[in-house]
Amino acid sequence: MSRIRLMALAIILGTSFTVVASDFAMARAGGGGSFGSRGGRTYTAPPSTTTAPKASPVERSMTPRPGASQAVQPTGASRFGGFRGLLMGGLFALALGSIFGFGALASVLGFVLQFALIAGLIYLAMAFFRNRRQQATAGGPSILSANTNRQSAPSGSFASAATGTPAPYAVSNADLDTFEALLGQTQTAFAREDTSTLGRITTPEMFSHFSQELADNAKRGVRNEVSNVKLLQGDVSEAWREGNATYATVAMRFSMIDAMVDRATKRVVSGDLGRPTEAVEFWTFRRDARAGNEGWQLSAIQQAA
């Protein structure tokens, strides 16, 4: 093989694997990342709770940072390089493969592109229209989190009663039941690659993040196996109304069987199918003001720091 072809192959492989690099140790939906939107409080730390004292800052969001004069691109680099990196890297690789005769490599990359193109176009279109709306409302009043010390009393798996300044939105027991159900539904739908359910119970932004992860799994020939999702402890960090939406951020400690397995051989790549693991995360849920209790959708995930 000529030196030119060797250099081209190195560029292709470097681009492709940089774009789709991932950490198999974090197989569950959103595992290890902090991303999504908490509305006007996206870049404000949620108040501490007895379940989790602190949340990691949001790394990737379509929400502009306060004071930005123009629309801001999602902050922080995705583990997978983002849809733009995936599309550009894949197209670049396909072009070089065609020029230098790497037909097999182009076919492999074409597989993941087929999965990512539709979700990528949805992601970019959603970003464009959301940025247009945010430009129109730039300069409005900022929303600040209330610094209240909350002591919660047990209520099922969650602790919902709080002392101090009341939250702008009073979370009900029905809300808490819905949040607990969405925890299990999200993890199960992700493991089953059930995009229909994911699209229904998550916001478009969160759906785009999960689609990236599923595309990466398909490219690597692995899939996530999840079972026995159980909420061990949870409490409300804050809940508020904002425009036509209601937000609620809750800290949750949960256990689950979580492993990554090879699609063809069923061999465990990471994790353990026989032993549950625990995680502590802040999940933010969003509901349109006109929707009922079933209208809650997952809007953001932040790791406990």
We report the CATH number of the domain holding residue 121 as 3.10.450.240
Mean pLDDT of 49-73: 82
Has residue 179 got a pLDDT over 70? yes
Residue 260 scores a pLDDT above 80: yes
The Cα 227–Cα 186 span in angstroms is: 12
Strand (E) or helix (H) holding 245:
strand 245-262
> How confident is the model at residue 168, as a pLDDT?
79
pLDDT exceeds cutoff 90 at 254: yes
For the stretch 147-165, pLDDT in tens is: 333 333 334 456 543 433 4
pLDDT digits (tens, 9 = 90+) for 82-123: 444 444 444 444 444 444 454 444 444 454 455 455 555 555
Structural domain including 61 reads 3-303
**Count of domains observed in the chain:** 1
CA angle 132, 135, 139 (to 5 degrees): 160
- Which residues make Cβ contacts (< 8 Å) with residue 237, sequence separation at least 6? 46, 47, 48, 49, 55, 150, 249, 250, 251, 282
Q: The tokens 């051989």 sit on which residue?
A: 265
Asked whether 39 and 62 are in contact (CB, 8 A), the reply is: no
**Which segments within 82-203 are labelled E, that is strand?**
153-155, 158-161
What is the reported pTM?
A: 0.65
Smallest CA-to-CA distance from 17 within 132, 133, 105, 126 is with: 105
Write the single-letter amino acid at 218. A
